[in-house]
Amino acid sequence: MPTLVDKPPEGGDWSHEVKFDGYRSQLIIENNDIRIFTRRGLDWTAKYRHLATAAHLLEAESAIIDGEIIVLNDADLSDFSALRKAITSRPHDLYFVAFDIMHLNGHDLRDMTLEERRVILAGIIPADIRVQFSQELSGEAKAIYKLIDDAGLEGMVSKRRDSKYRSGRSTNWLKTKSYEIAEYEILGVEREAGKPAFALMADRTTGQYIGSAFINSSRAIRERLWKRVQEHAGPAPKDMKRPATQWVKPGLIGRVKHLRGEEDLRHASLQDFREIE
């Protein structure tokens, strides 16, 4: 599990890969039997049957491979929002992007270096199948991150070249995510003495609460927002009980900067807001 950082590490001790926007998964080959598990240990082989079939082409009698299940959008970028539907409606379009290997043909590889493991992994994946190898990105970390951000990708993962494979959260693997700015409906403002203020946001299409955004805008914007909220106070949405929140009637749209590729808002901040006439 990579640790989230604000910027990627520099220097030759690190390798960098695209952070794919999908489901972290584990592919297991054992005696010609293929199984694919979710990060929480659920056996989803039946859902990923086309990928399991493709995995029979891997040059391995037994293996445990770490990777990401993804689906591509029209721009050929991994698309998390389309993934759930694709699993049931078009599973033949899924890919398994492999980025590490822990076991191969009865050998435990976890104490080998990352570079050694990835050479082995690349060697067992044939070309042009639905199981693909996550290539290392060449260049300086800052330049790689800019290219990833400009392309609309979720972010990048940086890994120490000499690191061993260990379960759990690690600072040997780091993830740097890209940000995007989008508009959401403001449900209310949460204010408590001595604490930062947050705007509670909802999806504009469904009206469903998706998280809060830290209000770090200018003082003028903060004061204008609070005045608008007080003047147009509304009832609390159904099933939402937050005593420190002043709810507002519909019609207030917030411009929010947040991490790309998340189901709910994360590391979000309110940049500005507008009213719907």
CATH value at residue 246: 2.40.50.140
Q: Which of 177, 197, 222 is a domain's end point? A: 177
Question: Residue 159 is part of a domain; what is its CATH number?
Answer: 3.30.470.30
Q: Are residues 9 and 119 in the same domain?
A: yes
Taken in order 126, 131, 136, 138, is the CA torsion positive or negative? Answer: positive
Q: Are residues 171 and 254 in the same domain?
A: no
pLDDT in tens, 63-115: 999 999 999 988 888 888 789 899 999 999 999 999 999 999 999 999 999 99
Specify the amino acid at residue 36.
Answer: I
Q: Are residues 115 and 197 in the same domain?
A: no
Q: Left (φ > 0), alpha (ψ -120 to 50) or beta: where does 258 sit?
A: beta
3-state secondary structure of 98: strand
Distance between CA atoms of residues 100 and 106, nearest Å: 16
Q: pLDDT at position 239, please?
A: 81
Q: Are residues 20 and 100 in the same domain?
A: yes
Q: Are residues 146 and 271 in the same domain?
A: no
pLDDT in tens, 219-269: 888 888 889 888 888 888 888 888 889 999 999 999 999 888 777 888 899
The whole domain housing 98 covers: 2-177
Which residues make beta-bridge pairs with 189?
A: 199, 246
Distance between CA atoms of residues 39 and 60, nearest Å: 22
Q: pLDDT at position 277, please?
A: 67
Q: Are residues 67 and 51 in the same domain?
A: yes
Q: Which of 161, 177, 193 is a domain's end point? A: 177
Beta-carbon contacts of 231 under 8 Å, excluding residues fewer than 6 positions away, are: none
Q: Compute the CA torsion angle 221, 226, 230, 235 (nearest 10 deg).
A: 110
Q: Are residues 250 and 233 in the same domain?
A: yes
Q: Which of 128, 144, 177 is a domain's end point? A: 177
Q: Are residues 199 and 169 in the same domain?
A: no
Q: Are residues 165 and 70 in the same domain?
A: yes
Q: Are residues 212 and 136 in the same domain?
A: no
Q: Are residues 148 and 193 in the same domain?
A: no
Task: Say how many domains are in the chain.
Answer: 2
Q: What is the Cβ-side half-sphere exposure of residue 200, based on CA atoms within 13 angstroms?
A: 22
* Burial environment of residue 227 by CB neighbours within 10 A (0 to 12, 13 to 18, 19 or more): exposed
Q: How confident is the model at residue 169 (pLDDT cuts 50, 70, 90)?
A: very high
Q: Are residues 91 and 15 in the same domain?
A: yes
The pTM score is 0.77
Whose tokens are 């189901």? That residue is 263
Average pLDDT over residues 14-24: 94
Residues 42 and 118: beta-carbon distance below 8 Å = no
